[in-house]
Amino acid sequence: MEQKLGLNQDTIASCRKDAKRIADQVQAYIDKHTTVAVERTVLRLLGIDGVDEFGRPLVNAVIDHIVEKGGLAKGVAHYMYYAVKETEETPQDISRRIANKTFDMSVYQAYPKVDKHDVLMPFFEKTLARVDAMKGIRKDWLAKTPQKSTPSKYVIVATGNIYEDMKQAISAAKKGADIIAVIRSTGQSLLDYVPFGATTEGFGGTYATQENFRLMRQALDQVSEEEGRYIKLVNYASGLCMPEIAAMGAIERLDMMLNDSLYGIIFRDINMKRTLIDQYFSRVISSYAEIIINTGEDNYLTTSDAFDHAHTVLASQFINEQFAKNAGMKESLMGLGHAYEIDPNMENSFLYELAQAEMVREIFPNAPLKYMPPTKHMTGDVFKGCVQDALFNAACVTSKQSIHLLGMMTEAIHTPFMSDRAIALNIASYIEKAFKNFGDDIMFKPDGIMVKRAHFVVDQAHQLLKDIKEEGLFKALEKGRFAEISRREDGGKGLHGVFLKHEDYSNPILDLLTKRLKEEKHGC
């Protein structure tokens, strides 16, 4: 794409080199460890689903049993391999027996290393065949959907009731929305299990469950047929069940998933080691399923000043990019996030916002960037809020962002009504037309405010990445380098679910997915 800001490409290359070093340092730790969520995901990919008589997911029952009786160091596949081989039962049947306390898998702890997981492969292949079919359906839909040259309009539904969410999603799609996100119920990221079935009660959102995914996908497929264009579905693969939810999303054909390597650490106080291990497997799954991830750098600016700390967003984007690459992800799936959050009372705030948006677009030209609306400085004045959102919309179209999360005039007041969403879509559509080629027709002064600002932010991000490279990401998070929030390396929630791998550890589905991603990359 056209380079209007004259950014120093050597500096950007150095940023990427430093970010790779940072990500690779963490990857060395990831490769030596597993988590309860990773192992539960292995079970889900074997086809295990459902709950026991107490409502506990069967995958949790199996992992709890192994942790209590033997330990996860060899990986759940080790135990399940011998259980299936000796009983000739399915993983689903075995998990039910474990939940009912009529089967003990701990006897397999002392068994020798499994070199070839042939008895498990048919179960994995069955799940991957479904994921492949879902990829094919999406590909066919996108091929017959009119291609847009302007940002895709993204809106949120969050009633707490999946059936009400479906009605609101259909309404938004018919009004022009391209992407529907279902916000999770408050606090779900801290649950170390995935709720089961369709849910009708949630606070501030709707529980992410596989059945809820299926129901919403079904509703959006119906409205896609009616509208003659594919409506994309989004949910959250984050928190203590990050890879599990990614697997469920792959199975039910979600198109995007919020999937950040640092958000849960910073804003939910989930242990950093647990999060970073889980994010790797979740991104491998998303890479294979061709699900666009959305990262959460925009949230940094809700706790730190958007003008003074813009460079932390850029530095985090560079790091997130490298984590995604380590997981075999194509740039076309890296929905790096940023936001329009500078204080509107600052003189020339729009110029600084546009400079930031254009800078990110030029640095990550192949990424489907996700641009977030103003929230921190929304006061409840709906008229001023409409103006703030209009300026945000103008910056979004001008700088050619990819994913355009619409702001609502009632931000900071209540969960939006359908009417609020309709107004936001009307305003965005108007500005989309009015500004469609505005970005193509303007140039930036080489010594102007925007160019100087972009260069300054890149230089600051470069220095921050150098510092993090030297101290390591774990120490950087302890120092509060992002969002001005400090987290301890061995603090937060979920560390008890992290296990050092035994020398006989195996994760056959991770090996298979990474192998297929490498073959795809090299055209094999």
Burial class (CB in 10 A: 0-12, 13-18, 19+), 149: exposed
Q: How far apart are CA 117 and CA 100, in angstroms?
A: 26
Say whether 371 is catalytic. no
Q: How far apart are CA 408 and CA 338, in angstroms?
A: 17
Q: How far apart are CA 21 and CA 25, in angstroms?
A: 6
The residue with tokens 């309404």 is 171
Say whether 298 is catalytic. yes
Q: How far apart are CA 404 and CA 371, in angstroms?
A: 5
Could you tell me if 80 and 46 are in contact, meaning their C-beta atoms sit under 8 angstroms apart? yes
The residue annotated as part of the active site, out of 153, 273, 370, 400, is: 370
Whole-Å CA distances, 450 to 278, 348, 357, 374, 444:
38, 10, 10, 19, 7
Q: Give the chain's radius of gyration (CA, Å).
A: 23
b/e sequence 462-489, b meaning 16+ C-beta within 10 Å: bebbeebbeebbbebbbeebbbeeebee
Strands 33-35 and 498-500: antiparallel
The residue annotated as part of the active site, out of 255, 298, 389, 420, is: 298
Say whether 263 is catalytic. yes
Phi and psi, residue 411, nearest 5°: -55, 135
Could you tell me if 90 and 97 are in contact, meaning their C-beta atoms sit under 8 angstroms apart? no
H or E element in which residue 458 lies:
helix 449-471
- The helix-helix angle for 58-69 and 91-99 (nearest 10°) equals 70
Q: Following CA atoms 359, 361, 362, 368 in sequence, which dihedral angle do they give, to the nearest 10 degrees?
A: 150
Whole-Å CA distances, 55 to 45, 108, 245:
20, 27, 18
Dihedral sign (CA 206, 209, 214, 217): positive
The residue annotated as part of the active site, out of 81, 263, 288, 340, is: 263
Active site residues: 263, 298, 370
